[in-house]
Amino acid sequence: MKKFLNEFKAFIAGGDMIELAVAVILAGVIGKVISAFTEGVMMPIVAAIFGQPDFNALAIDIGDAKILYGTVITALVTLVLTGLVLFAIIKAYQKMKKPAVVEEAGPTEVELLTEIRDSLRVRN
């Protein structure tokens, strides 16, 4: 039992768990920002184009039941707009990120040994 508790302590205290917790918190906040942008900025643009802010009211009556196909259309529009916003965020992040510095690779061990051999031949 003590080994189990020590392993659990190491797991909780490890960097992976903290990084995961930070990622989950940031994802929740970014999700709220994207939702606010989609609902506050993008959907009014959709409303200006199509004459309504969402398509939830679109339905087909079949007797006592309604097929609410408008909610599916609204969800699809929201999905596409959210994807667009995420794409823009990722593109901006990639531009902001510094390119990785590529170090020049030195000679390999075989190349060094070959140089040493050749220089020894020249001496003799």
**Domain tally, the chain:** 1
Report the pLDDT value the prediction gives residue 15, as an integer from 0 to 100: 67
Q: How many residues does the chain have?
A: 124
Half-sphere exposure at residue 34, Cβ-oriented, CA atoms within 13 angstroms: 19
Stretches in the chain below the pLDDT threshold 70 = 15, 100-102
Instruction: Provide the residue range defining the domain that includes 65.
Output: 2-98
Residue 60 pairs in a beta bridge with: 67
DSSP 54: -
Report the pLDDT value the prediction gives residue 38, as an integer from 0 to 100: 82
Report the pLDDT value the prediction gives residue 61, as an integer from 0 to 100: 92
* Cβ proximity of 55 and 73 under 8 Å: yes
Q: Is residue 110 part of a domain?
A: no
CATH number for the domain that contains residue 16: 1.10.1200
Q: Is residue 121 part of a domain?
A: no
Q: Is residue 26 part of a domain?
A: yes
Q: Is residue 114 part of a domain?
A: no
pTM of the prediction? 0.54
